[in-house]
A = this chain, B = another copy of it.
Amino acid sequence: DFLNALHEIIPAFGASTDNLERCRLNGIVDCGERHKHIHKRAMLLVEQVRVSKGSPLVTCLLEGPSGSGKTAMAATIGIESEFPYVKIISAETMIGLSESSKCAQIVKVFEDAYKSQLSIVILDDIERLLEYVAIGPRFSNLISQTLMVLLKRLPPKGKNILVIGTTSEVGFLESLGICDAFSVTYHVPTLQTEGAKKVLEALDVFDEDDIDTAAEALNNMPLKKLYMLVEMAAQGAEGGSSEAIYSGREKIDINHFFDCLGDIISVR
């Protein structure tokens, strides 16, 4: 089954920079110290892999709440590494495939990576790759076993590889034993008031006077939800105001902003 699946895979994997750019829909802005720190450390791992003698395989896990910026961070590291081979493995491109086909796809990416002297493989949303669901819990043990072996298997002599994983279900990965399989793990947090303020300043859609109030209300908000919330608020209570706001002619009404925040928070 798996072997067939392996043969059927067309090497559709070319340069993926384009692919990686789409992971940063809202760009990369300064959003606080912790995000900067992780970025710096991760770039040191890139360096270690580039010059490595004794550790041809380095693995690093980015974990944190949904929307905190893990995928954008991993993509950024991949882009900035300038390694000849950088690929992202994501559930999006494998919807509906059988476990063994997914498994074959994943193995294929690693096999391709082993052909490059320097490579980065991003395992995005590992819990989704594993088809994890909290009820049961259920997940694909076939894929889980595959990842555990791949995270430990050395590339051929002379080839060096950096594997970056992302997850918002670190507790689950720990109980699988997958966390232990990574050399290092970094926690990517939600925003603090200070970080939120920086992001809002960069967006420039609030009145100077409102920006602190808004930032405070956004303490503990994940980056991605913040962007969604701002866009909702920009429509205005009666609709139609977004163009004026993005062109800078108007600012977001702080009351309507809090209404929208209420709608969003009730779901968390």
Measuring CB to CB, which residues of chain A are less than 8 angstroms from any residue of chain B? 1-3, 6, 22, 25-26, 41, 43-45, 47-48, 51-55, 58, 61, 66, 91-92, 95-98, 100, 103-104, 107, 128, 131, 133-135, 137-139, 141-142, 144-146, 148-150, 152-154, 175-177, 179-180, 182-186, 227-228, 231-232, 235, 239-240, 242-243, 246, 263-264, 266-268
| With A96-B104, A100-B96, A146-B95: A184-B154 Cβ-Cβ less than 8 Å | no
| With A54-B231, A154-B25: A135-B175 Cβ-Cβ less than 8 Å | yes
Q: Which of A2, A25, A45, A54 has the most CB of B within 10 A?
A: A54
Say yes or no: B141 contacts A141, CB within 8 Å.
no
Pairs A-B, 5 closest by C-beta atoms: A2-B96, A185-B267, A47-B239, A55-B231, A131-B145
Say yes or no: B183 contacts A228, CB within 8 Å.
yes
| With A54-B26, A55-B231, A185-B267: A141-B131 Cβ-Cβ less than 8 Å | yes
Say yes or no: B135 contacts A137, CB within 8 Å.
yes
Say yes or no: B92 contacts A96, CB within 8 Å.
no
Say yes or no: B96 contacts A6, CB within 8 Å.
yes
Q: How far is the CA of A163 from the CA of B117 in the complex (A)?
A: 37
Instruction: Beyond the given A61-B267, A96-B107, A182-B267, please list 12 additional residue pairs across the A-B interface where CB-CB is below 8 A.
Output: A2-B96, A3-B97, A6-B96, A22-B154, A44-B232, A45-B232, A53-B231, A91-B149, A131-B142, A131-B145, A180-B268, A184-B264
